[in-house]
Amino acid sequence: MAHFPEKQSISFFGLVAMGIGCMLGTSWLLLTGTWLETAGGPLNLIVAFALCIIIELPFAFAYMEAIPMLPLAGGEVVYSAAAFGSRGGFVVGWAGVLMNAIVFCWVDLAAISLLDELFPALGRTCFLYAIGGYSVTLPNVVVQLVLAGAIFYIQYRGASVCAALAKIATVTLLVMCIAGLAAAFVHFDPAIYASDGGLDFDLSGSLSLLSLLVFSVAGWETVAKAAADATGKAARKAGWALIVCLFLVTSMLCLVSTAVAGNLPWREAIGRTAPFADVLVDITGVPAVRLLFLVTAFVGAVGVMNSTLYSAARMMYGLAQFDLVSRWFDRLHPKYGTPTRCIWFTASFVLLAPFTGKLFFLPLINIASLATIVMWVMTLAAVLWLRKKYPDLHRPVYMPGGRPMAAFGIAASLFLCANILLPFFPGALGTLEYGVAAVLAVVGALLYHRRDRTVTDALRASSMFGGLLTRKP
């Protein structure tokens, strides 16, 4: 049970590509205006991105220790189950399923926003109804379902096909982003950047944006799930692939927003669908540049949907294999060896999204952020607890930074939880988000209730880890 029956075929670059593909996606083009508005200016935005890297670093370091220590299919499910038993394994596994499935839905919605910009008739033809002030049209519904179905088919074909798509999407995104950044920074104007209070600092604005960035730069943990399908050499370096993804993508997202604010007064960027593309049109004088970048972002959306559905299905399969949900989910495709029922289940989340327009566009970000925080915090806690519970477990890599980094990770965990859960913090969830999160928690509780209860934690640990774990006397 250490791996899926598929051939281990993902290279180190494949791991990096899947991580970047899951992280970069469309946010660099579609969320710049939202980030600037939430932060209250470009300087506050830079501070928020710097805080984001600092706060996420101990969690990334925890994954560096966990991945080679327990290189088994299921990722975070394995780490938490080893440390905290069945309940811990299920909680983090379900959070991972939700985070990736929600991102899958959100990006499907984002992809339609891009297509509406490319083909305006999609958002105007065959109007069905309006919900929450947002229009729902038949072409948009059909295109969203077709796009999700195409990604679904790719998942059926196996890890190597997923990784190949991720490489194509990642190379396309990186080339276009780097070219656009080079042009934008050549024309960067400090006076424009400082206009409209761009250099005014307000920590509350940075903290408000920080809660959104948790979602926007999440995805590097995809490497933990893909490591089980990686070649031997790539699997040993999976932790470093994860760190590369975190630093590279976070830096690029910050640079894109900074480039926009240096070419366009930041308040004018608010409300625009793709301000980075608009800036490049102004610089080049070529309207087709906007079209080119919208198409590039659409390719990124496809890459994110591919990576997130892969992760969601793999985590669901891990839950089934470890008897944390019904074994009904552990059926594999007879030809491709992929977890078909898990793919069906996680892909089903997208069935409702097309019929809600953009009503849940921002709420989905906040709910995904909550699930992400649960997953990161539980993984960090598992790594620290396993040092006491299984001190003789082979650890090829230790979490860099030692005890000070571990202590900082605990402080970061408390801050992230407080920032999204406590009502007086700037990033707190709203009533709608709490309601949706509660419904999803109930669904998870029902799935956990339907597990095979005859499987004890001891039997589960034996099945999950075999002789890998050595218990402290």
Q: For residue range 306-357, what is the model confidence (pLDDT) as tens digits?
A: 778 888 888 888 888 888 999 898 888 777 778 889 988 988 888 877 887 7
CATH class of segment(s) 12-465: mainly alpha
CA distance linking residue 212 with residue 430, whole number of Å: 13
CA distance linking residue 211 with residue 203, whole number of Å: 13
3-state secondary structure of 128: strand
pLDDT at 147: 86
pLDDT grade for 131, boundaries at 50, 70 and 90? confident
CA distance linking residue 67 with residue 59, whole number of Å: 12
Question: Looking at residues 257-286, what average pLDDT do you find?
Answer: 92
In the chain, where the domains are located: 12-465
pLDDT-above-90 percentage for the chain: 23
Q: How many CA atoms lie within 13 A of 102 on its CB side?
A: 27
Dump pLDDT digits (tens) for 24-68.
777 788 889 989 999 999 999 999 999 999 998 999 899 888 888
pLDDT at 466: 65
CA distance linking residue 395 with residue 244, whole number of Å: 21
Give the N- to C-terminal CA distance of the chain in Å, as an integer.
26
pLDDT at 282: 93
- Between the alpha carbon of residue 2 and those of residues 237, 248, 423, 463, the distances in Å are 18, 30, 42, 10
Res 207 pLDDT > 80: yes
Q: How many CA atoms lie within 13 A of 111 on its CB side?
A: 29
Give the range among 299-308, 314-323, 377-386 with minimum mean pLDDT: 299-308
Beta bridge mates, 131: 134
CA distance linking residue 100 with residue 95, whole number of Å: 9
With a threshold of 0.85, does the pTM exceed it? no
pLDDT grade for 71, boundaries at 50, 70 and 90? confident
| Better-predicted residue by pLDDT, 93 or 27 | 93
CA distance linking residue 444 with residue 260, whole number of Å: 41
CA distance linking residue 396 with residue 236, whole number of Å: 9
Question: Looking at residues 71-94, what average pLDDT do you find?
Answer: 85
CA distance linking residue 10 with residue 428, whole number of Å: 38
Res 80 pLDDT > 80: yes
| Better-predicted residue by pLDDT, 417 or 74 | 417
Location of structure tokens 């984001």? 52
Res 160 pLDDT > 80: no
Confirm if 66 and 396 have CB atoms less than 8 A apart: no
